[in-house]
Amino acid sequence: MNSDIILETREIVKKFGGIVALNNVNIEIEKGKITGLIGPNGAGKSTLLNVISGFLKPDHGSVVFKGRDVTGWLPHRICSLGLARTFQIVKPFLNFTVEESLLIGTLKKRSGSEAQELIDHVLEYFELDELRSKRCKELNVTQLKRLELARAMTTEPELLLLDEPGAGLNPSEASKFMKMIREINRKKKITILIIEHVMPIIMGLCENVYVLHYGEIIAKGCPRSVCKNKQVINAYLGEKW
Ligand code: ADP
Ligand code: MG
């Protein structure tokens, strides 16, 4: 495997009963870059993230992360190797405080004052400092989205998978959130795979884009070339792009 490739999927197939959610999906994620994953609802985007992060087992094919075949590994084990994710629908621990829910992520790799230092840094970085003692059920959507990202960061990932991080946010909140994501990539040198529907966001963030349609990759490349692709226009973008 090329050492610039941090993650690769090989011929992934995932079926749910009669539905073929992923049909022979091959993607490669370049280290240090932001890669986009787009496509219509039901295309298989979240399923692919679930397979990569170990939440679903593929029926066929393999996932190679940092040169190791991690197919079938449990999520926490893949996470320990340096892969973190956020969910399309946020999954907070409702009765935990913000600080407690961040502690869980750090404990795998750090303890005591080291863990606390990391949590303090992440709380400040994601502007959650003043909310540290609040219970998660008291947070609004924007705060929960920031917490979700913060929680992923406490595991100190090398690769971060984001499933529609902007969903549910208004345009100005979404744009601020995307700035945070770009900063995580640039300053903390974390590779990112992002699912997102808002095309200007994809255009602004990503160096590479994959397009899924009915479980198949129908195009890949830089955002500009993908936007000009006839099949992508017909399947997903429409003529306005
Ligand atoms: P996307 O994230 O691109 O909108 P999904 O990956 O959520 O698409 O879904 C792909 C297809 O797989 C859809 O037809 C969806 O209904 C189906 N699907 C996803 N998850 C499950 C599941 N747990 N059980 C049954 N069908 C599922
Ligand atoms: Mg989805």
Give pLDDT, residue 166: 85
Give pLDDT, residue 14: 98
| Exposure string for 43-59, b = 16+ CB within 10 A, e = fewer | bbbbbbbbbbbbebebe
Q: What is the pLDDT of residues 94-106, one digit of tens each?
A: 788 999 989 887 8
- What is the H or E stretch that residue 147 is in? helix 141-153
Q: How many domains does the chain have?
A: 1
Lining ligand 1 with CB less than 6 A are 16, 19, 21, 39, 41-47
Give pLDDT, residue 176: 87
* Top-confidence range, 7-16, 100-109, 190-199, 227-236: 7-16
> Is 40 within the bounds of a domain?
yes
pTM equals 0.93
| pLDDT tier at 3, thresholds 50, 70, 90 | confident
Among 73-77, 158-162, 234-238, where is mean pLDDT lowest?
Answer: 234-238
For the chain, the average pLDDT equals: 91
Give pLDDT, residue 135: 93
Amino acid residing at 189: K
Is the torsion defined by CA of 177, 182, 183, 184 positive or negative? positive
| pLDDT tier at 241, thresholds 50, 70, 90 | low
Which residues form the domain of 20? 5-91+157-237
Give pLDDT, residue 239: 64
> Is the predicted pLDDT of residue 62 greater than 90, yes or no?
yes
Amino acid residing at 114: E
| pLDDT tier at 240, thresholds 50, 70, 90 | low
Cα of 6 from ligand 2 centre, angstroms:
23
| Structure token pair of residue 17 | 């009963």
Give pLDDT, residue 212: 96
Residue 227 sits at the vertex; the CA angle it makes with 225 and 229, to the nearest 5 degrees, is 70
> Is 102 within the bounds of a domain?
no
Cα of 16 from ligand 2 centre, angstroms:
15
Separation of alpha carbons 212 and 45, rounded Å: 7
| Structure token pair of residue 153 | 């960061």
> Is 128 within the bounds of a domain?
no
> Is 110 within the bounds of a domain?
no
> Is 57 within the bounds of a domain?
yes
CATH number at 66 reads 3.40.50.300
Confirm if 235 and 213 have CB atoms less than 8 A apart. yes
Closest ligand to 236 CA? 1
Cα of 196 from ligand 2 centre, angstroms:
9
Give pLDDT, residue 1: 61
Closest residue by Cα to atom 10, ligand 1, is 44
From 12, 15, 16, 197, mutation site for ligand 1 pocket: most ligand atoms within 8 A of C-beta: 16
> Is 28 within the bounds of a domain?
yes
DSSP state of 233: I
193 phi/psi in degrees, rounded to 5: -115, 120
> Is 21 within the bounds of a domain?
yes
> Is 209 within the bounds of a domain?
yes
> Is the predicted pLDDT of residue 205 greater than 90, yes or no?
yes
Closest residue by Cα to atom 25, ligand 1, is 16
> Is the predicted pLDDT of residue 185 greater than 90, yes or no?
yes
> Is the predicted pLDDT of residue 6 greater than 90, yes or no?
yes
* Top-confidence range, 64-73, 149-158, 230-239: 64-73
Q: What is the pLDDT of residues 18-36, one digit of tens each?
A: 999 999 999 999 999 999 9
Identify which of 84, 200, 212, 207 has the alpha carbon closest to the alpha carbon of residue 153: 84
